[in-house]
Amino acid sequence: MRGMGTDGTVYEIHGVEEGPVVVLIHGLGLNRECWEWTVPALADRYRVVTYDLYGHGESVNPPETPSLSLFARQLSSLLASLVIERAAIVGFSLGGMIARRFAQDFPAHASALAILHSPHRRSPDAQAAILARVEQARNEGSAATVEAALERWFTNDYRTENPAMMGRVRDWVLANDITVYHRIYSVLAEGVEEIVQPDPPLALPLLALTGDEDYGNGPEMINAIAAEVKGAETIILPGLRHMALAENPNAVNAPLRAFLDRHHPSSIRNTSEPMSDADRRALRDAFGCFATGVTVVTTRQKDGTPRGFTANSFTSVSLDPPMLLVCLAKTAHSCPVFTAAPHFAVNILEQGQKELSGLFASRAADKFEKVEWRSGMAEMPIFDDTLAHLVCSQEKVIDAGDHIILLGRVVDHATGHGQPLGYFRGTYFSAGTEQELIDAASQGGDIEIGALISADGLLLLANSDDGGLEVPKAPRESPDIDVLTHQLKQAGMSVDLDFLYAVFRDTVTGRHGIFYHGSATGALPQGHQFYPLDDLPLSRVRNAAERSMLTRYAAEHREGGFGIYQGDETRGTVNRIASREPSTY
């Protein structure tokens, strides 16, 4: 839908009418059309607003001397006219500066910021260069600066191979009114100082993104922006310049969408309204952050046929009387059987029973024919070698939305031995394996400890002493994973480790390697860079063992399952701790 505000601002609205709002602010000399590669990546979930800044596109010229405050008021007026209380603001280049000014001036109306290819305080030489371009635009108009701008904005090969795109962007810039273009250019050049180190600091989720070849708004700028906002996230796109959103839209859209999905402004919703599929996925992910054990719940039909399902939604309720509960989806085929059954049993699985869990999470009709089991109290099906089993009489069936709750009184129980089978964020994990492998490797003497740190489909690599790349590692004199995460935290990056990934002996160096897996948010430490997992620069990783590990990691990431590797750099075994098996609640 296209419209015009009372102040002459032309806008368009895309996507879901009742969705959380995302506003996209373009850069100097462009217009709302530059978001055509971004809108489709957001419109399935969000209400996306694009508009032309004063003096750009179809909007009127600035009603007063251009400034960041004026452009922030323009956005505020637009949101008010559209009856939008809060929105996530995405700003590109000058738009990123406006987004920060808006968050300072109207903090109640900004729920999150994504700052793309936008400047921070410049060096004296860089400031002098941009002021010279402003003067050139004042004297000769945008035509005098556009060709140099295209060289800064696009990589050489892309610019050569895509003349039509160059022509389109050139036309956008040349369409600007020569009498106001240089005045708005001055805002880009001189407005930075009013948004650097804001007091009070911005206090909202922030993503800062740029390309490593964006010479005017490069990684040092983005890291400086992120350093001013607690918990800010940074993404550096390799091999891209200023207009990455047009040259390689997916490289920008993937981390942007992931950031918005984590921080969109509709986290508080009207619970009387049905949930969207996206909201269901997000809520399921949130539930999955609670690490649990895994059980198989069993009973018998009236004719004696055994039935069972896998559940991690199990908990103890009371010791006196002894009671527990289990949740079962109403859509499960066995739901009517469990609702009517006078007894049921809960089998708590041991770490070696992932296959048993997977079988009973499936819809196979002959599950009990594929495993060994026996009859326990009340003829309930019991599996051997579990950590424990509890037989219950049914106390009550409670209706609970799309599930039922089976409340049971424990009438018999027994415990076994072993380590628990765990479930976390949709994946299995085994509690005992990691420490055993670490202890064994540590006894080997010379060890190195590092971490595969990912963020939105990207992997963090560090510059190595030989001029190549390597996995981030703790210092050789202090081989401790906590030392590594502390060093990264001091540099502004917060790392959340979730499981051990690899333990191996490097036969070339003679060292034992212990590598964890984790995710990161925050500033990019000096000497580090994120690379796309689908295009890792493996040829620059000098160490063969690490290169092999990274190759396996990229393949497992595509397949959606991980495991602990044990061996050397060429041969070993994988203990699957994170296979994506189905789960029934």
Q: What is the pLDDT of residues 279-293, one digit of tens each?
A: 666 677 677 667 788
CA distances from 40 to 14, 51, 153, 357, 500 (A): 9, 16, 22, 39, 37
Query: Which whole number is the average pLDDT over 528-543?
Result: 91
Please give the model's pTM, rounded to 2 decimal places.
0.51
Comparison of pLDDT for 6 and 564, the residue scoring more: 6
Hey, what are 421's tokens?
A: 């089978």
Nearest 5°: phi and psi at 142?
-65, -25
pLDDT band at 509 (very low <50, low <70, confident <90, very high): confident
Backbone φ/ψ region at 510: left (φ over 0), alpha (ψ -120 to 50), beta: left
Counted residue by residue, the chain has a size of 585
DSSP 524: P
Considering the chain, what is the average pLDDT of its residues? Answer: 87
Nearest to 487 by CA among 528, 435, 545, 434: 528
Nearest to 420 by CA among 313, 347, 370, 360: 347
What is the sign, positive or negative, of the torsion defined by CA atoms of 286, 290, 292, 297? negative
Backbone φ/ψ region at 567: left (φ over 0), alpha (ψ -120 to 50), beta: left
Hey, what are 394's tokens?
A: 């049914």
Exposure on the CB side of residue 150, measured as CA atoms within 13 A? 23
Judge whether residue 319 has pLDDT over 70: yes
Helical packing angle, 124-140 and 178-190, nearest 10°: 170
Q: How far, rounded to the nearest angstrom, does the alpha carbon of residue 330 sit from its chain's CA centroid?
A: 31
Please write the tens of the pLDDT for every residue from 427-471. Answer: 666 554 445 445 544 555 578 889 999 988 899 999 988 889 999
Max CA pair span of the chain: 93
pLDDT of residue 585: 31
pLDDT band at 477 (very low <50, low <70, confident <90, very high): confident
Task: Give residues with Cβ within 8 angstroms of 363, minimum separation 6.
Answer: 333
pLDDT of residue 551: 87
Backbone φ/ψ region at 497: left (φ over 0), alpha (ψ -120 to 50), beta: beta
Helical packing angle, 68-81 and 94-105, nearest 10°: 70
Distance separating alpha carbons of residues 205 and 182, to the nearest angstrom: 33
Q: Are 227 and 137 in contact (CB under 8 A)?
A: no
Q: Residue 336 in 3-state DSSP? A: helix
Q: Which amino acid is at 460?
A: L
Residues of the chain with CATH 3.40.50.1820: 2-120+193-263
Q: Name the helix (H) or strand (E) containing 217.
A: none
pLDDT band at 559 (very low <50, low <70, confident <90, very high): low
What is the sign, positive or negative, of the torsion defined by CA atoms of 300, 302, 304, 306? negative
Class of domain 292-424: mainly beta
Q: How far, rounded to the nearest angstrom, does the alpha carbon of residue 511 sit from its chain's CA centroid?
A: 33
Hey, what are 478's tokens?
A: 């202090």
Beta strands 110-116 and 343-348 are unpaired
pLDDT band at 328 (very low <50, low <70, confident <90, very high): very high
CA distances from 493 to 233, 261, 496, 519 (A): 8, 21, 10, 10
Written as one string, the DSSP assignment of 100-153 is HHHHHH-GGGEEEEEEES---SPPHHHHHHHHHHHHHHHHH-GGGTHHHHHHHH
pLDDT of residue 555: 79
Three-state DSSP string of 248-277 = CHHHHHHHHHHHHHHHCCCCCCCCCCCCCH
Judge whether residue 276 has pLDDT over 50: yes
Task: Give residues with Cβ within 8 angstroms of 53, minimum separation 6.
Answer: 25, 26, 59, 71, 74, 94, 95, 98, 184
Q: Are 233 and 207 in contact (CB under 8 A)?
A: yes
- Per CATH, the number for 2-120+193-263 is 3.40.50.1820
Please write the tens of the pLDDT for every residue from 331-388. Answer: 888 899 999 999 999 999 998 898 899 899 887 878 999 999 999 999 999 999 999 9
pLDDT of residue 571: 43
Residues of the chain with CATH 2.30.110.10: 292-424
Nearest to 58 by CA among 91, 27, 33, 37: 33
Task: Give residues with Cβ within 8 angstroms of 168, minimum separation 6.
Answer: none
Please write the tens of the pLDDT for every residue from 53-84. Answer: 999 999 999 999 999 999 999 999 999 999 99
Exposure on the CB side of residue 410, measured as CA atoms within 13 A? 20
pLDDT of residue 278: 62
Angle at 284 between CA 256 and CA 110, to 5 degrees: 40
Query: Which whole number is the average pLDDT over 80-106?
Result: 95
Query: Which whole number is the average pLDDT over 385-392?
Result: 95
Task: Give residues with Cβ within 8 angstroms of 77, minimum separation 6.
Answer: 5, 6, 7, 9
Helical packing angle, 163-174 and 146-153, nearest 10°: 130
pLDDT band at 560 (very low <50, low <70, confident <90, very high): low
Tokens 């026996």 found at: 374
Q: Which amino acid is at 23?
A: V
Comparison of pLDDT for 275 and 14, the residue scoring more: 14
Query: Which whole number is the average pLDDT over 537-547?
Result: 89
Nearest to 347 by CA among 311, 307, 319: 311
What are residue 399's DSSP bridge partners? 404
Domain 432-578 has CATH 3.90.79.10: yes
Please write the tens of the pLDDT for every residue from 135-167. Answer: 999 999 899 999 999 999 999 999 999 999 999
Q: How far, rounded to the nearest angstrom, does the alpha carbon of residue 68 sit from its chain's CA centroid?
A: 30
pLDDT of residue 570: 44
Q: Poorest-confidence range of 185-194, 228-237, 485-494, 548-557?
A: 548-557
Comparison of pLDDT for 464 and 97, the residue scoring more: 97
pLDDT of residue 401: 83
Judge whether residue 397 has pLDDT over 60: yes
Hey, what are 221's tokens?
A: 């700028």
